[in-house]
Amino acid sequence: MDSKKGSKAPGSPDVEYFFNSAPPLKGRVQTSQKLKEFVEKIVRSSESGRPIRVVCVTSGGTTVPLEQRCVRYIDNFSSGYRGATSTEYSCFFYKNGCVSIIFSNFRGSCQPYCRYLPHDSFLELFDIAEDSTIKVCESHDTVVKRSIKDYRKAVEEGLLLKIPFTTIFEYLQILQMVATSMNCLKSLGMFYLAAAVSDFYVPWENMVEHKIQSTEGPLDMRLTQVPKMLSVLRKDWAPSAFCISFKLETDPDILLQKADMAMQKYSMHIVVANELANYKKEVTVVTSRGKTKVCSHGKDHDLEAELVDLLVDRHFEHIKKCGSEANGAL
Amino acid sequence: MDSKKGSKAPGSPDVEYFFNSAPPLKGRVQTSQKLKEFVEKIVRSSESGRPIRVVCVTSGGTTVPLEQRCVRYIDNFSSGYRGATSTEYSCFFYKNGCVSIIFSNFRGSCQPYCRYLPHDSFLELFDIAEDSTIKVCESHDTVVKRSIKDYRKAVEEGLLLKIPFTTIFEYLQILQMVATSMNCLKSLGMFYLAAAVSDFYVPWENMVEHKIQSTEGPLDMRLTQVPKMLSVLRKDWAPSAFCISFKLETDPDILLQKADMAMQKYSMHIVVANELANYKKEVTVVTSRGKTKVCSHGKDHDLEAELVDLLVDRHFEHIKKCGSEANGAL
């Protein structure tokens, strides 16, 4: 398995190699068409007055197949909770001025408007009444109704476009499609990259075809670094968009230093730093102007409410700064 | 990372090493108590006449953590569909004489009585009516009601005990607990081991504590073979139980040969051979008497109906053969 050293410029050999050697994205034509229609609708709406902001939220983990006919794969911890919750708050905070594109990992990851529902036992929420209608158990009546109502509203108002992915190959091909489609929105676009993206992969052509056999002894594997696509997103795919990436570490001693490095190395506007042990209770928002802690104030308070509120403010500042460019775009 | 060669006898050093070095199972005391009560209730019921058969269905994949504070892990392909569907048919075929224990992977794996429901968009199934009650969309009314009814019935009749797991460490510790608890049922116990269990793992003490950093270069990993616990189950944990294991391969040329080998090596009563490309359409049931193909007859026909029917017959034969022993047990 091959490996290239160091961080590369956009269009560098390892980026090109990644896309050229990746298995073709299934449903590429349909996804591309859906995206085109979605963005065109936004551009048409914006012509009638109010500019619309679009947030691309990525969520969940990406898998790295170890065999072409994949039985085994490497995955990353990600419940998808942050992405799903932030999508809901984005729709709320931007109010009439926002459309969210979320693309999220299918397998088991949290979906918008589902976080209050039990993940694996939703049948326990319901009963059949005597007249054979379906009844929600009393204990869950309020949250289930709110989830259904909010979800229906978001769908009816056209605020959500969901594009699912599973593997690192699918994720990066879709990110490229979404980013280049959103490029025409200039500074009105925001990338909220909450997905836990694999750092290492096995290039398709170096992968065995069939299931690796459990032979008599240990299994040795060599994984190649995934090229850092954040630089390519910032420089090539959507250079005027507002970009927020996430850094998750388990070691608190290196977290902020790694977040600072990521901001500089990939020219992010903001990096949100998480520690695995308490990522639902506290994050640090790292910008060039300094660091801000955002905390949850208790069981019924999502830190994503305050986080998204802060990011929306910063996005408005970014749009203002790029004002003439944005007005020229739409 | 250490590795031991060859298949070992029960209680061999690599089996002992696995259990001694595994991180302690969370909630062990509660799970053990629940299991004890479940089996005691079955034994009491059987004293009043009809003997009860118990099927332990394992389902889903097992994860192999790569870090102690786990961000990355290796997973196996498994939708959990076979285990979930087979649990439903087991409850149906054994009728009043069966209790099923299923233990299944939480993350994203299919649960019994949920297979007709859309996995990631269940909010789309429901609408709020004008009187603010919840209404099932017409297109899904029949399946949703059937799912809720069947699930409720299974729970009310005490036919299901769910024990979730995620990692290979949790899976094998729970399998040991369930098997030793079911040992007193002798031949009335059946193990239907549909879970896709990892073949390789990183021993806990050899694992790095923190998230592996994406440094400048490739990542090399060495994985140790997971000791084959099927032999231990057959010889030590529950020697009289009826045991069915599953073999999944991507290469049809080696599938049946591997299934034969598994049957002999681990003294299974039956091995069900699956090929990844068509596992929902066809399986081969491998026994010492020969091989039987079981096929799906179309979109609305689960091959699990016929498969479980066949296995229940074979389990009855097994009970008959061990007759005096089983009667002595209960």
User: Which one of A63, A70, A111, A211 makes the best mutation probe of the B interface by having the most chain B beta carbons within 10 Å?
Assistant: A211
In which band, very low, low, confident or very high, does the pLDDT at A329 lie, cut at 50, 70 and 90? very low
Which residues of chain A are within 8 Å of residue B121 when distances are taken between CB atoms? 111
CA distance B134 to chain A (A): 7
Contact across the interface for A218 and B222, Cβ inside 8 Å: yes
Which residues of chain A are within 8 Å of residue B147 when distances are taken between CB atoms? 123
In which band, very low, low, confident or very high, does the pLDDT at B259 lie, cut at 50, 70 and 90? very high
Q: What residues form DSSP beta bridges with B328?
A: none
Q: Which residue has the tokens 């992977």?
A: B105
Per DSSP, helices labelled H in chain A are 13-21, 28-47, 81-93, 141-156, 168-182, 229-232, 252-266, 303-321, 323-329
**B109 Cβ under 8 Å from any chain A Cβ:** yes
CA atoms within 13 A on the CB side of A49: 3
ipTM over 0.95: no
CA distance B112 to chain A (A): 10
CA atoms within 13 A on the CB side of B275: 16
| B58 phi, psi to nearest 5 deg | -105, 145
d(CA B211, CA A252): 11
Rounded to whole angstroms, what are the CA distances from A21 to A3, A209, A232, A244? 14, 15, 18, 28
Q: Give the residue-averaged pLDDT of A125-144.
A: 78
Quick one: closest CA in B to A79, which residue? B107
The answer to whether A289 and A313 are in contact (CB under 8 A) is: no
The answer to whether B218 and A3 are in contact (CB under 8 A) is: yes
d(CA A238, CA A186): 7
DSSP conformational letter for A244: E
Q: What is the per-residue pLDDT across A88-130, written as a single tens digit (0 to 9) for each?
A: 888 766 665 667 777 777 666 788 888 777 665 667 777 777 8
Q: What is the per-residue pLDDT across A61-92, written as a single tens digit (0 to 9) for each?
A: 999 999 999 989 999 888 888 998 898 888 76
Q: Give the residue-averaged pLDDT of A290-308.
A: 90
In which band, very low, low, confident or very high, does the pLDDT at B129 lie, cut at 50, 70 and 90? confident
Nearest to A90 by CA among A238, A196, A237, A191: A191
CB neighbour list of residue A78: distance below 8 Å, 6 or more residues apart: A59, A60, A61, A105, A109, A195, A196
Tokens describing residue A153: 């509203």
Contact across the interface for A218 and B1, Cβ inside 8 Å: yes
In which band, very low, low, confident or very high, does the pLDDT at A284 lie, cut at 50, 70 and 90? very high
Q: What is the per-residue pLDDT across B150-163, written as a single tens digit (0 to 9) for each?
A: 888 887 877 888 89
d(CA B71, CA B65): 8
Question: Picking from A151-155, A203-207, B315-319, which range would have the lowest pLDDT averaged per residue?
Answer: A151-155
d(CA A303, CA A294): 7
In this predicted structure, what is the pLDDT of residue A299?
77
Q: Crossing angle of helices B81-93/B303-321, nearest 10°?
A: 60
Strands B134-136 and B160-162: unpaired
Q: What is the per-residue pLDDT across B282-324, written as a single tens digit (0 to 9) for each?
A: 999 999 989 999 999 887 788 999 999 899 899 999 999 998 4
- Residue A153 CA, distance from chain mean position: 22
Give SS3 for A266: helix
CB neighbour list of residue B317: distance below 8 Å, 6 or more residues apart: none
| B122 has a pLDDT exceeding 80 | no
Q: What is the per-residue pLDDT across A212-233, written as a single tens digit (0 to 9) for each?
A: 887 668 889 899 999 999 999 9
What is the DSSP track for B247-263?
Answer: EEES-HHHHHHHHHHHH
| B5 has a pLDDT exceeding 70 | no
Tokens describing residue B8: 């070992």
Q: What is the per-residue pLDDT across B148-202, written as a single tens digit (0 to 9) for each?
A: 888 888 878 778 888 999 999 999 999 999 999 999 999 999 999 999 999 999 9
Beta strands in A53-174 (DSSP E): 53-59, 64-65, 72-76, 98-104, 126-128, 134-136, 160-162
